[in-house]
Amino acid sequence: MPLFKGSIPAIITPFRAGEIDWNAFDALVEWHVEQGSHGIVPCGTTGESPTLTPDEHKAIVERTIAIVKKRIPVIAGTGSNSTAKTIEMTQHAKKAGANAALIVTPYYNKPTQDGLYAHYKAINDAVSLPIIMYNIPGRCVIDMKNETIARLAALPHIKGLKDATNDLSRVGALREMVGDDFCQLSGEDATAPGFLAQGGHGCISVLANVAPALSARMHECWWKRDLDGFAKARGALAPLARDLFCETSPAPIKYAVSTLGFCTDEVRLPLVAASKSAREKVEAALAHAGIQPAAQSKTARHA
């Protein structure tokens, strides 16, 4: 059986006046557990990991683990374009009690396939923590090929892949190479239903930040082969899967969560808040999914 499956939100990092809004963060983590999410990822791209300080990054991982209390898996984002830094952050995640580490392919450096293998092998050899590799060519330029993934899957701590290539044909092809126990998670909400149909196990999700229960239900319907329920949830979520990416994420999803009253929609430079047109698209997608704004002011719930 794969190590992880289902709807796993890559949680946002709420900010207020440039600092982490810890009250909002605590409430969001607890809400995701209560809403039935099957795991949680702190310090991913959706959590604006590139602009977090090392101390903030470590504090977020520790805080998530403390709030979750082992009720769902915590997959800590620990990747960077420095192998040494990635090892350091992964060692911290293990010490803090994370269930696994999500490690992105090194961005900007543009390593070869042999370089990618050497990067992940070095982490595998240094830290005895399950590793979910993260292949996202759209942000990192490089594409880790299935052959490299299969080679790495033979290592003891490489347990899965978050795939954001948008190429659904790769799921079955990789499954033939590594078997069904190797965890395959989608990194693209729009193709997550098709990813499941091709043999994938779940999704590390952006839209689950604002629709955790509905996202979890879609995956559970798939497991039970309730295809009518699956199709209903998929249809309700489809506009969110599209329009939460109408501008650079996580600006739109932060606006979406702010409408629920948890936090502000503040992002850190060089990102800026969602534009008026993006907010309108997000509001329409939320309405389509049956998600209503908070009755109180959008930033008052945990002020």
Instruction: Give per-residue pLDDT as tens, 248-265.
Output: 999 999 999 999 999 999
pLDDT of the residue at 8:
98
Half-sphere exposure of 159 (CA within 13 A, CB side): 17
Strand-by-strand arrangement of the 158-163 sheet:
6-9, 202-205, 183-186, 158-163, 131-135, 100-104, 75-77
Q: Is the pLDDT of residue 41 over 70?
A: yes
Mean pLDDT over residues 288-296, rounded?
86
- Ordered structural domains, the chain, with CATH: 6-234 (3.20.20.70)
126 burial class (0-12, 13-18, 19+ CB within 10 angstroms)?
middle
Q: Is the pLDDT of residue 16 over 50?
A: yes
pLDDT of the residue at 136:
97
Q: What pTM did the predictor assign? A: 0.96
* 225 Ramachandran zone, left/alpha/beta (phi>0; psi -120 to 50): left
Cα separation, 255 vs 52, in Å, equals 19
Mean pLDDT over residues 254-277, rounded?
98
From residue 40, give the alpha-carbon distance in Å to each of 48, 251, 283.
15, 19, 24
Q: Is the pLDDT of residue 120 over 80?
A: yes
Mean pLDDT over residues 201-209, rounded?
98
Q: Is the pLDDT of residue 299 over 80?
A: no
Instruction: Give per-residue pLDDT as tens, 134-167.
Output: 999 999 999 999 999 999 999 999 999 999 999 9
* Contact (Cβ atoms closer than 8 angstroms) between residue 259 and residue 298: yes
Cα separation, 171 vs 5, in Å, equals 15
pLDDT of the residue at 294:
86
| Residues carrying an active site annotation | 134, 162
Cα separation, 265 vs 255, in Å, equals 5
